[in-house]
Amino acid sequence: MSSSSTQLSALRGMGIYEPFHQLSSWGDPFRGDGSLNIGSSTIVQVDSGLNNKTEYVSQDSMEPSRSDQEANKPADKVLRRLAQNREAARRSRLRKKAYVQQLESSRLKLVQLEQELERVRQQGVYISIAPDSSHLGLPGTLNSGITTFEIEYGHWIEEQHKQVSELRNALQARITDIELRILVENGLNHYNNLFRMKADAAKADVFYLISGKWRTSVERFFQWIGGFRPSELLSVLISQLEPLTDQQLVDVCNLRQSSQQAEDALSQGIDKLQQTLAQSIAADITSGGSYRAQMAAAIEKLEALEGFVNQADHLRQQTLQQMSRILTTRQAARGLLALGEYFHRLRALSSLWAARPREPA
């Protein structure tokens, strides 16, 4: 036996020959030039396997994409919800900030008002001493009700200036009647606040209110029982509201006539009160009558004076309301504008009068 046969027998005995035999049956994997010797069937199988693998991989790679899209849908909803929550929280913070600022502004105004009241109390701006009683050494008493009225009336004048400016701008801008009606109602309510303030001041000191010390000198020239005479203001307003319809003219004339009748009745009542008071004080002056009893009776009569002031303000209030009903919304706005300008010019005339140059004595 040759050496090669002996080696093959040895390989078979070791179980190694068969694989090498199979490998040889596939053919030499290398060509003579050293390149791979791969058959067409082998290439097809490999390509098919690669294609299957490619399809499997592409499907696997696409499946996560779909799941990502499905997962993104609730994620987008969450993001939108978070954005809406952030926007709502931002608006809530802005509203809270505005509310806090408004509270702080109101607190500062209240503190300022309290400081003004305290300063007025310390300075004693209003002291209710009769002119002919100072020589008697009577102590002056500070009337807090009048002090409060003076401060409130100063704020009332400032607010009236703002409302007059708003009415003027609104009429020039030709806003709707609904918006204009709101400004008219605000103007009427502003005068109602003045009448409420005056009622409180009348309780504190009715003579202070009737004397007109809270008004300028020119305004006091037109004073009538603590305020303006309604019939005179109607005459002023009519010229500013033309043209009026025939029915409006009739209604305004009737209103002015009824106002004049009420004014005459109140004026006669005031005159009667003065006569009665003078007679009560003059009675038994030389006969040595009871001084205390006479003063007590006079005070009881003077208490009716507060009622006259309240009735006069009620007449003024009713005249303004009736006038607003007769006029259209735009006419009522023009009327309030004219009324505010009228009072403003009276105050300006007072300032000019006080500042006028005077001839040296």
| Nearest alpha carbon to residue 148 among 190, 212, 199, 216 | 199
d(CA 247, CA 326): 9
The parts of the chain modelled with pLDDT lower than 70 are 1-73, 111-142, 284-289, 361
pLDDT at 70: 57
**Single-letter amino acid, residue 124:** G
Q: Which amino acid is at 220?
A: R
On the CB side of 151, CA atoms within 13 Å amount to 19
Residue 301: per-residue pLDDT: 85
Residues 6+ apart with CB under 8 A from 292: none
Please tell me the number of Cα atoms within 13 Å of 86 on its side-chain side. 6
For the chain, report the end-to-end CA distance as a whole number of angstroms: 169
Distance CA 318, CA 255 (A): 10
Between 291-326 and 230-241, two packed helices, what is the crossing angle to 10 degrees?
20
Could you tell me the pTM of the whole model? 0.61
Predicted confidence at residue 91, as pLDDT, reads: 85
Cα 78 off chain centre by = 37
Q: What is the pLDDT of residue 111?
A: 67
Tokens 């409420």 belong to residue: 196
Residue 232 CA to residue 333 CA, distance in Å, equals 19
